Chains A and B, each alone.
Chain A
Amino acid sequence: MPKLTVNGQTHEVDADPAMPLLWVLRDRLDATGTKYGCGIAQCGACTIHLDGQPVRACQTRLGDVGTAQVTTIEGVSGRVAEAVQAAWRKLDVVQCGYCQSGQIMSAIGLLSGNAKPSDADIDGAMDGNICRCGTYQRIRAAIHEAARTLA
């Protein structure tokens, strides 16, 4: 049975190795913080970290995860994550909030590798995350805010 380490906890998962990690997380492990938005890597709502790198869980098959560490919104932690979540709350970024798990996971990925992203860097890192409520202005401001608190 495939083993999967999610947020530091190892699970044995009885599922088709072809099943996207998105559905393993949501339907087998009840980790519903990671969202389904499109299933074709267009929206980024399912963004998680695989060994610290943002990936789309809808395009990651269970059988391909191997021993990589899966981190979801429920388990993400550390200085960058805290700064990002604090900035999101300070600026009241969210509206419906459904895409924000993915937005936050992408933003943490960006700031982990780029302490002071420019607007162009933000466009590049965040363009794959759709927010239908249109909170982009605040997402951008929150990323800059988080960068300031991390500096």
Chain B
Amino acid sequence: MLNVRRPNHPSARPSRRGILAGAGAIVIAFRLDAKPARAAAGPDLAAVKAQPNAFVRIAPDDTVTVVIKHLDMGQGNTTGLATILADELGADWKNVRTEFAPADAALYNNSLMGPIQGTGGSTAVANSWFQLRKAGAAAREMLMAEAAFRWKVPVAQITVAEGVVHHAPSGRQARFGELAASAAALPIPSEPRLKDPSEWRLIGTKVPRLDSVAKTDGTAVYSLDIRRPNQLTAVVARAPRFGATVASFDAAAARKVAGVLDVVQVPTGVAVIARDTWSAMKGREALTVAWDDSTAETRSSEAILSEYRERAKGPGLTASERGDPQAALKGAAKVIEAEFTFPYLAHAAMEPLNATIERAPDGGYDVYAGFQFQTVEQATMAAILGVTPDRVRLHSNWAGGSFGRRATPTADYLAEAATVLKASGEKAPVHLVWTREDDMAGGYYRPTVLHKVRAGIDAKGAVVGWDHVMVGKSIMIGSPFEAMIVKDGIDATTVEGASDTPYALPAYRFGVHNGREGVPVLWWRSVGHTHTAHVMEVMVDELAHAADVDPVAYRLSLLAQAPRLSAVLKLAADKAGWTSKPAEKGRGLGVAVHESFGSYVAMVADVTAQEAGIRVNRIVAAVDVGVPVNPDVIRAQVEGAVGFALSAVLRNRITLKDGHVQEHNFDTYAPTRMSEMPHVDVHIVPSRVAPTGIGEPGVPVLAPAIANAVFATTGRRLRALPLDLSGVKGA
């Protein structure tokens, strides 16, 4: 199972069969165990699958196809992963293509998740770095060996650049496509020479994204765009309360709606199957369902938070402890006690959840979706359909966002699609579509969380003790990953970013109570860091002000053992023209710094805070992700993290009233819009350290940087998210 520290990020489009079936293409597959290589003419999925480490294929027309094992939900990992392999190979970027890998945990597992194929925890580049360099380097050496053999020259005199193999002394050269077929029959080097960073031509430069053209002319295929012959569309009437079940239903009126073909019960509700999406939705409106609420969550979100507040009075399970903070706080010169609350949040990716599934003539199944946890998803659907996992073939598509939602340990919507197909008699392909309302009210939210902190400083302003308790529902407990991730009742993804704080706090305890409500929760872009970073960074800011020390200097004094964090903090402060004094009335700067998923990010927020509300004018970010494989994609991810998270800082919340979700669409759960978007400057620390991810790490620091800026501007500490400035006068 997962031995990764935390899953959560995206990736993949459905395999393009047109590319796979390309006539005369040659697969160069690599077995890094030094067994002889094999060439497979007329490559298809089976051929790729037959050979371990099949990450690249070179066709006679010189196109280099890189197989992408991750889901690309916008984070740009297709470009990133292809860059790594193409650079080692010496490919011409213009000829580089990608295709999404099929489900095959033996070939395409995420090495940071153990035997699981999946995308999350900002690991796509990190877990592929050596794998794809090695694959690219091995291919390069095979092409060189083939050229040396043909030209009867020493291989040491062969060079490779931009898709061409050269022999300078004789002036001979050959394109990859001319050599690939024969090269594929050569032994695969088990320890190919990896390039020195000085030889990199693509890594660290701006290469054009590989998905920019298809995503600007309407040809990119998302799961919602899958159109199989005779495909039907299904929508499901689900329980309005989490945990409720169908008591009875009356489908008579629904069946009379034009275009409706069938109405069937499934474990999650009642499915209306129709000729098209519109008819299915109309049919569902005509359906009458009585729900059995005896096992449902019927509380309001406020009641859940009240329960949390009570529980936070107890110490909870000890996730981290050093020294005796309670004793230390007794001797403190100043003690700050604070409560922080966080609402449920929906991912609200632009493409609502959906999947198309069909029974194939061979008795297997083909599924088209944005797969983020292939191994789990395949096994879950196979169990429902009564076949072995290998009979469920996954065809991955570009995903219209995810932010964690498509990586569900229960494979919820994919399992539902399988149950609908089964209940429908498996006669035709079924496209299960969740409407926006279904997607938003469907649960699997970022958990609601409450933190309570008591922290104190001595007369000189130094931290003497920090006593911290949180309450929140675990994502992993009850999931297939529980045994691997949860230790002594503590879910690492709940406490990450706080229990392991890099701040030098002499006496520190972090206790956790696991929430028990019946609301399904899930990782939401940066997982536990969405709340822990906010609490840590606002509290440290409060202590700095209490100590009357500049907040940047104060943090640096506590981060002497964290050089990479210190460096991004200094860089962001420097580039932002940091000052803790408001430049003008109603406007000020705030800062935050945090490590998540092995990446280091600092942000300085320039904020105008007045009675009318909070406006974020500018964000200056500094990031250290090790080797910046694609600097422009890194910048885009940080810009995007700001745009994504800003609405959660300012207004987004999912609320329950008597168990009913109150927000159903973008009118009541409003994402950031163009006119609110601050200018974002991103500064990248040069590095030769192995790369880490950037899909998520831009998110955690935004909220505390803004909240700290609001304090600098107004003198008001806003500790609940979303930030509510009502009643706050300008400073």
Contact between B233 and A40, CB atoms less than 8 A apart: no
B348 close to A (CB within 8 Å): yes
Please tell me if the beta carbons of B673 and A127 are within 8 angstroms of each other in the complex.
Answer: yes
Measured in the bound complex, the distance between the Cα atoms of B209 and A99 in whole Å is 17
Known: A20-B278, A73-B218, A98-B401. A92 touches B674 (CB 8 A): no
- Interface positions, chain B 623-661, Cβ under 8 Å from A, are 632-633, 636-637, 639-644, 646
Closest to B275 in A: A27
Report if A92-B349 is in contact (Cβ < 8 Å); known contacts: A37-B436, A135-B643: no
Task: Decide if B135 is an interface residue (CB 8 Å cutoff).
Answer: no
Measured CB to CB, the closest approach of chain A to B123, in angstroms, equals: 18
Q: Please tell me the number of chain A residues within 8 Å of chain B, measured between CB atoms.
A: 54
Q: Which of B74, B209, B680 has the most CB of A within 10 A?
A: B74
A4 interface residue per 8 A CB criterion:
no
- Kindly report which residue of chain B lies nearest to residue A106, judged by CB atoms: B674
Indicate whether B398 reaches chain A with its CB closer than 8 angstroms. Answer: yes
- B residues less than 8 Å from A28 (CB atoms): 276
> How many chain-B residues does the 8 Å CB contact rule pick out?
63
| Residue A66 CB within 8 A of the other chain | no
Q: Which listed segment binds A: B220-228, B451-459, B489-497?
A: B220-228
Interface residues of B in 208-249 (CB under 8 A from A): 208-209, 211-222, 224-225, 227, 233
Nearest neighbor of B209 in chain A, beta-carbon distance? A92
* Chain B residues within an 8 Å CB radius of A148: none
**Which residues of chain B from 41 to 96 have any CB-CB distance to chain A below 8 Å in the complex?**
73-76
Known: A88-B216, A96-B74, A97-B220. A23 touches B278 (CB 8 A): yes
Q: Across the interface, do A96 and B278 meet the contact criterion of CB distance under 8 Å? A: no
* Distance between B356 CB and nearest chain A CB, rounded to angstroms: 12
B679 touches A137 (CB 8 A): yes
A132 pairs with B636, CB closer than 8 A: no
Q: Say whether B224 contacts A96, CB under 8 Å.
A: no
Could you say which residues of chain A place their CB within 8 Å of the CB of B692?
none
- Checking B278, B349, B351, B640 against A135 with a beta-carbon cut-off of 8 angstroms, the contacting residue is B640
Task: Give the complex CA separation of A89 and B642 in angstroms.
Answer: 22
Q: Are B208 and A89 in contact, CB atoms less than 8 angstroms apart?
A: yes
Contact A98 B209 (CB under 8 A): no
Question: Contact at B217–A73, with CB atoms within 8 Å?
Answer: yes
CA distance A97 to B217 in the complex (A): 10
A-binding segment of B26-34, B419-427, B663-671: B663-671
Tell me if B's interface is mostly helix, strand, loop or mixed.
Answer: loop
Q: Does any Cβ of B come within 8 Å of A150's Cβ?
A: no
Q: Is the CB–CB distance between A130 and B640 below 8 Å?
A: no
User: If A26-B277, A42-B667, A134-B672 touch, does A95 touch B399 (CB 8 Å cutoff)?
Assistant: no
Query: Interface digits, B144-178 against A, CB 8 Å rule (1 contact, 0 not)?
Result: 00000000000000000000000000000000000
Contact B674 A126 (CB under 8 A): yes
Using CB atoms, name the residue of chain A closest to B213: A89
Q: Which residues of A contact B225 (CB under 8 A)?
A: 26, 32
- Say yes or no for B677: interface residue by CB 8 A criterion: yes
Q: Chain A: residues with CB nearer than 8 A to chain B?
A: 15-16, 19-20, 23, 26-28, 30, 32-40, 42-43, 45, 72-74, 85, 88-89, 92-101, 104, 122-123, 126-127, 129-140
- 21 sample A-B contacts, Cβ–Cβ < 8 Å, listed by A number: A26-B225, A27-B277, A32-B225, A35-B350, A43-B666, A73-B218, A88-B216, A92-B212, A92-B636, A96-B351, A96-B398, A96-B400, A97-B215, A98-B74, A129-B674, A130-B350, A132-B349, A132-B401, A134-B639, A137-B677, A140-B677
